[in-house]
Structure 1
Amino acid sequence: MKRIFSLLWCVLALASCSESTAKTEEEQEVVSDNFELSTELVLGDRGAIWGFEFLPDGGIIFTERSGKIGIFKDGKVTELAGVPKVAYESQGGLLDIALHPDFANNGWIYTAYLENVGKAARMNLIRFKIENNALANVEKLLSTSATNEWKGHNGSRILFDKHGYLFWSVGEGGKTSRGGKDSPNKNAQNVKELWGKVHRLHDDGKIPSDNPVLPGNTEPTSIYSYGHRNPQGLAYNAEADEVWESEHGPRGGDELNLIKKGENYGWPFVSYGINYDEVDISGKKHEGYTEPTFQWTPSLGACGLTYLTSDKYGSWKGSLFAGALALNHVSRIYFENGVAKEEKILQDVGRVRDVVQGPDGFLYLSLEGPGRIVKVVPSPKTK
């Protein structure tokens, strides 16, 4: 279950995680008056690890954008057979992966990938089980239109909330990406298109009856929120029952959003960023659209997001942690008097693709160049 772990999972996985973690220290940085952070290599020398999850038996299941699904356990990686053919080009490929909340009993695993259809491509959300180290019982739950001609801005993250609803973020796709009222790509505003949205489904892909009826529609669809450019982070605060999303802006204007039912987050009509040719999009005028809780300018390349529920990092409990794919650090977002503030940690750690809280309460990162997973370890500050 994405970034939420039962007590049983924690107990089962804690010992195995500590056993399989190689004690290779990659970086150390003072980030607090009370402790330092270091990273320990868990898994290395892989392709681009887009998403990963901890299994109840202590293993780690992960995706590589090139189209591989692997299981790392006892120091070895087993690659699964039967993975669908993916469009591994531009920003496309095999993306996030998540476990069903009741995975220990039903065995369902969820993933999303870009698939070529003629000269364009579509995003698919599927679920499957594992039999004899291969995908089995594969079910396609939701697909976008096959209209992504440049194969970019696909999203995509997957998570479950405590009610068992499945959330899936999808980028705007289309022919190109440009902000402004005259943008040639308005997928994110088109409620008949699945691109540029955060979707909410039952675990079997059916549409919840209490999903919003959006302007221009007559009944609920899979769309829960819209107006998203390229959302590559989803996190869940179970105590507050909040879904958080992070997305890439254009030149500046990366966003952290609290996802609310039926809300319009504005892309491509509004952004705190500007187009790559320096043409303004909307300035700071966002009337009629939902404002981001926090925005990053310059862009950090927001990718991967988790909500910390453990006490392993002291007062950081309750913070959000966003990966900085472009700026090579982790952004800690915390709140003071209801105002979101940022602290940059693990600077120069590398290109952060995903951030996950493990069943042992520690943070884990997937990094690129080469693909690897590291554990973030706090230790008492040395003089």
Structure 2
Amino acid sequence: MGKAIIFIASILSILACDSSKDGANNSVTNPTPVNDNITLTQEIVFSDRGIIWGFEFLPNSDIIFTEKSGKMGIYSNGKITELSGLPTDINTDSQGGLLDICLHPDYKTNGWIYASYSGSVGGKGLLNLIRFKIEGNTLKNVENIFKSSATNQWKGHYGSRIVFDKDGFLFLSIGEGGSTTYGGENSPNLNAQNVKEAWGKVHRMTDTGGIPTDNPILTGNTSPSTVYSYGHRNPQGLVLNTDTGEIWETEHGPKGGDELNLIAKGKNYGWPLVSNGVNYDGNPISTSHNRTGIENPKYSWIPSIGACGLAYISSNKYGSWKGSYIAGGLALRNLSRVEINGSDVKPTTIIENAGRVRDVKMGPDGYLYLSVESPGRIVRLLPK
């Protein structure tokens, strides 16, 4: 276990952003020293956008990003170009909109990009996963490869994150949707426990949306489906550990009980039957946090951090932090480093008052990048 991080100077805050949406780089002048010889400085790459839900790096290091409002853009050489040809059925009500984005592992040769977004049928929300190519500044060859049922009555808890594993399979997280966010044996929303329902799951599929033959056959099913794990509440962090090949996930709990999970084939992660948090009215969700047949989280945050965005540090830029995870937080507006040594999991806040951190990524230059809200901006973390 590396040394715990403590702040020995004023806490790092994001300063005023450039008013231009194209914005030049702007470095924060009050860096945060930490006790393992790392000082973090936040450099604003671009700003003055809406909620940047997801972003990815193109092979030339340009940044392609999504905005909840339904916009998609590419940042290149200090300029932002907005793309056309997006689906016309993006629904931005409540927590919905244009969500995550991910490049195919073989993007250089096949040009495929993936994005998730919410739609609406009969006033109820659903989640779509599309893939597409870009010609000029327009989306082309758009294909819908996954669609949930339209049962999300309050149009919230869509998830969602997209990541490919080392074998080229696509993982998609989706929240439990439905009629309520309240947990317990008698919850009217048991989507996450229904293995025939898309909601409240981590799905594993081929790059065309097909069902891998080695996916689990879950109880009640006679053949594999795209469902890889279930019992998830609202998973908004998903990352590949590029060293081990593991898929790690963070998800929102209710009042307390945000989770860090190692995603495993066919496992049940408990929602809404079990949680380390309580319902928003203070009532317990279960009499015990443990239950036979249910995976316990590797870590639970109490109080909730509003877990959103998860990255794995694979570069040497951050010294002893290599091999750690970085988790964003919407509720506590902070950034956490999570160090894992066997069963020992220790999160440490590395930036407080960072703003609502929506997404976290490792860049091709080996540095961490954040999507932060109000205003929407991409920030690079520079260690010294």
TM-score of the superposition, structure 1-length normalised? 0.92
How far 1:124 sits from its partner (Å)?
Answer: 0.3
Q: Unpaired segments of 5 or more residues in structure 1?
A: 1-19
Task: Note closer, same or farther for the CA distance 1:43–1:183 as it changes in structure 2 (3 Å cut).
Answer: same
For residues 15-50 of structure 1, what are the alpha-carbon distances to aligned partners after superposition, in whole Å with 9 as ceiling and x for unaligned? xxxxx9714326521223312111000010000000
Q: May I ask how many residue pairs the two structures share in their alignment?
A: 360
Please state whether the residue corresponding to 1:97 is helix, strand or coil.
strand
Task: Note closer, same or farther for the CA distance 1:343–1:108 as it changes in structure 2 (3 Å cut).
Answer: same
For residues 120-167 of structure 1, what are the alpha-carbon distances to aligned partners after superposition, in whole Å with 9 as ceiling and x for unaligned? 011001100011211110111111000001000000000001110000
Contact preservation (8 Å) 2:99, 2:160: yes
Name the residue aligned to 2:374.
369
43, 56, 59: which one pairs with 1:56?
A: 59
CA RMSD, Structure 1 to Structure 2 (Å): 1.2
The letter of the residue matching 2:165 is: D
Task: Note closer, same or farther for the CA distance 1:372–1:146 as it changes in structure 2 (3 Å cut).
Answer: same
Name the residue aligned to 1:328.
333
Distance 1:234 1:256 in 2: 10
Distance 1:251 1:35 in 2: 33
149, 167, 171: which one pairs with 1:167?
A: 171
Name the residue aligned to 2:197.
193
Task: Note closer, same or farther for the CA distance 1:64–1:318 as it changes in structure 2 (3 Å cut).
Answer: same
Moved more, 209-218 or 79-88: 79-88
Q: What aligned pairs does 1:62-73 form with structure 2 within 5 A after superposition?
A: 62-73=65-76
Contact preservation (8 Å) 2:94, 2:154: yes
Please state whether the residue corresponding to 1:146 is helix, strand or coil.
coil
Name the residue aligned to 1:77.
80
Name the residue aligned to 1:16.
none
How far 1:335 sits from its partner (Å)?
Answer: 2.1
Contact preservation (8 Å) 2:114, 2:132: yes
Please state whether the residue corresponding to 1:298 is helix, strand or coil.
coil
Distance 2:56 2:122 in 1: 33
Contact preservation (8 Å) 2:298, 2:343: no
Task: Note closer, same or farther for the CA distance 1:326–1:366 as it changes in structure 2 (3 Å cut).
Answer: same
15, 30, 33: which one pairs with 1:30?
A: 33
TM-score of the superposition, structure 2-length normalised? 0.92
Distance 1:331 1:250 in 2: 19
Name the residue aligned to 1:345.
350
Please state whether the residue corresponding to 1:104 is helix, strand or coil.
helix
The letter of the residue matching 1:203 is: D
Name the residue aligned to 1:5.
none
How far 1:117 sits from its partner (Å)?
Answer: 0.7
310, 315, 318: which one pairs with 1:305?
A: 310
How far 1:338 sits from its partner (Å)?
Answer: 3.2
Name the residue aligned to 1:118.
122
Q: What aligned pairs does 1:1-383 form with structure 2 within 5 A after superposition?
A: 22-25=25-28, 28-84=31-87, 85-288=89-292, 289-336=294-341, 338-379=343-384
The letter of the residue matching 2:148 is: T
Contact preservation (8 Å) 1:71, 1:77: yes
Task: Note closer, same or farther for the CA distance 1:26–1:159 as it changes in structure 2 (3 Å cut).
Answer: farther
Aligned sequence identity (%) = 59
Q: Unpaired segments of 5 or more residues in structure 2?
A: 1-22
Contact preservation (8 Å) 1:21, 1:40: no
Moved over 3 A (4+): none
The letter of the residue matching 1:153 is: H
How far 1:263 sits from its partner (Å)?
Answer: 0.1
Name the residue aligned to 2:5.
none
Distance 1:36 1:256 in 2: 26
Please state whether the residue corresponding to 2:31 is helix, strand or coil.
strand
Distance 1:138 1:106 in 2: 14
Contact preservation (8 Å) 1:166, 1:201: yes
Contact preservation (8 Å) 2:27, 2:41: no
Distance 2:379 2:163 in 1: 21
Contact preservation (8 Å) 1:89, 1:151: yes
For residues 281-304 of structure 1, what are the alpha-carbon distances to aligned partners after superposition, in whole Å with 9 as ceiling and x for unaligned? 125432221000011000000000
How far 1:169 sits from its partner (Å)?
Answer: 0.1
The letter of the residue matching 2:155 is: K
Task: Note closer, same or farther for the CA distance 1:260–1:26 as it changes in structure 2 (3 Å cut).
Answer: farther
The letter of the residue matching 2:363 is: G
Distance 1:268 1:324 in 2: 22
Contact preservation (8 Å) 1:293, 1:340: yes
Distance 2:203 2:29 in 1: 37
For residues 41-81 of structure 1, what are the alpha-carbon distances to aligned partners after superposition, in whole Å with 9 as ceiling and x for unaligned? 00100000000001111210000000011000011111111
For residues 70-114 of structure 1, what are the alpha-carbon distances to aligned partners after superposition, in whole Å with 9 as ceiling and x for unaligned? 000011111111111311111100100000001011110000000
Task: Note closer, same or farther for the CA distance 1:117–1:330 as it changes in structure 2 (3 Å cut).
Answer: same
Distance 2:360 2:158 in 1: 19
Distance 1:285 1:135 in 2: 46
How far 1:336 sits from its partner (Å)?
Answer: 3.7
